[in-house]
Amino acid sequence: MGALVLPPLGSIVLFMTMGTTGPWLQSHAGIGVVIYVVAFAILAGLALLPTYAQSALGGFAFGIALGVPAALVGFAGGSFIGYTIAGRAAGDRVQKLLDEKPKWRAVRDALLDQRRGWVRTTGMVALLRLPPSSPFALMNLLMASVKVPQSSFIVGTLIGMLPRSSLAVIIGAGVQDLTRENLEQALPTWAWAVGIGLSIAIALLIGLLAARAIERIPRGTTRSDSPG
């Protein structure tokens, strides 16, 4: 629940303080980048702030050339922290639940099983990260819970987050005054359309892969999925 609730609440605090945080980072570009990356990683990993606002802050403070890599390093750190915490919190509970539910296990194996190859697993992580509607903290929790290999998780996260992170940095770099209203106004209309289209297309693809995985389950092995 915290992975869904805390980032929006944190964004309120972030936008209230951006008027002083952004200019300070601008005027301390050297140490500011280090502070920004470390803070990005910790706050994103602990699900305290939304990644879009943090990426925009990086663009405003450091520009595009430095803001994009700084945000990506922050994403990598945040992914590692979120994965580690979620993995320890979940333990083997999700794995045991999947073992009791053949359909769920089949879907997990079809999408994220490392036995299908590192490249395929990494690509699927990137695909799940790609839509703007994909919540960073919640995806950390889900992927750690189903034991996605950490290398695939982090690399796939960086690939999948690159487009929307870059867009947020570009938007942040283009505003004169870093406020929520200015960022919302600077977001191009086509970005909404592309985001919605990607979300629908990926949801349909995941649904198709899940359906095919369930169809391949031998009959008689899915009774534990039925109530009673």
Those residues whose C-beta lies under 8 Å from the C-beta of residue 186, and which sit 6 or more positions away, are 171, 174, 175
Report helix angle 189-215 to 102-112, nearest 10: 130
Q: Per-residue pLDDT for the chain (228 aa), expressed as one digit of tens each? A: 444 555 665 666 666 677 778 788 878 778 989 999 999 999 888 877 778 888 988 999 899 999 999 999 998 999 899 889 888 876 677 667 766 667 766 777 766 766 678 888 888 889 888 888 788 878 888 888 878 888 899 999 999 999 989 999 999 898 888 777 888 888 888 888 888 888 888 888 888 877 877 777 766 555 545 444
**Helices marked H in 91-101:** 93-100
Is this model's pTM higher than 0.85 or not? no
CA 183 from chain center: how many Å?
A: 20
Q: What is the largest CA-CA distance in the chain?
A: 66
